[in-house]
Amino acid sequence: MFDLKGRVAVVTGASRGLGRQDALTLANMGADVVITDVLVEDDPELQKTAEAQGSTLAQVAVSQGWVHSNATAEEIRKMGRKSLAIKMDVTNRDQIRDVFKKVRDEFGKIDILINNAATLDHTAQIPNQSYELWDRDVRVNLTGAFNCTREAWPYLVENNWGRLIFMSSVAGTLGGFGQASYSATKAALIGLAKTAALEGGRHNITSNAIGYITGAVIEVAGGIPLFTA
């Protein structure tokens, strides 16, 4: 197991699933962890479900596998690590800039960025793919990762050390039937990760794109049906 004692990690999309597990794993390895997400209260679908069921937002969140970011941060603090839960939308560049500055000010540095935030809540073949959902998926899955990487970059260079992790997918190399937007963004993340590795090498910054990993997104999608041409 890697020893990450003294390292500071930022994880996006960390309210549940892979992001939450990433945060806990980093803490187990010794890192201090900053948990970021748009957070449950901002999810309109959860709000609709809560209203329809006559339940509280928290009850619906728990039933669907969400864990409040503050609870995860508290769990990490019980391990003896520092942790902070911060609201951050990866499509909001001003907010990202402010969050990374806050992390740098409070933790002294940023060493690790895990670009985990993503969306996959629909399937549609290309003729039926809505432009709105295509744009949203690109904005969150790809541009969101770029936004965070760009804002984290100066802090990694400042350390002369950094680790970038991009959550890609096998769909990014083989495609996914009915998942044009998801597959395209995950393929693009591989290119972004490779470019970051080329540019970051001189600063001891490594960059990797990983996947396929079973998690909440895959469960929602019912798996990724793959077909080779």
- Non-local (6+) Cβ contacts of 107 within 8 A are 8, 32, 34, 82, 84
CA–CA distance, 160 with 221 (Å, rounded to integer): 39
Told to judge if 182 belongs to the known catalytic residues of this protein, a careful annotator would answer yes
What is the DSSP secondary structure assignment for residue 29, as one 8-state letter?
T
| Opening angle at CA 52, ends 49 and 57, nearest 5 | 45
Which residue in the list 131, 155, 182, 212 is annotated as catalytic?
A: 182
φ/ψ bin of 205: left (φ > 0), alpha (ψ from -120 to 50), beta (otherwise): beta
CA–CA distance, 16 with 64 (Å, rounded to integer): 10
For residue 19, CA distances in Å to 10, 26, 86, 181, 201 come to 10, 11, 14, 21, 26
Q: Please give the positions annotated as active site.
A: 182
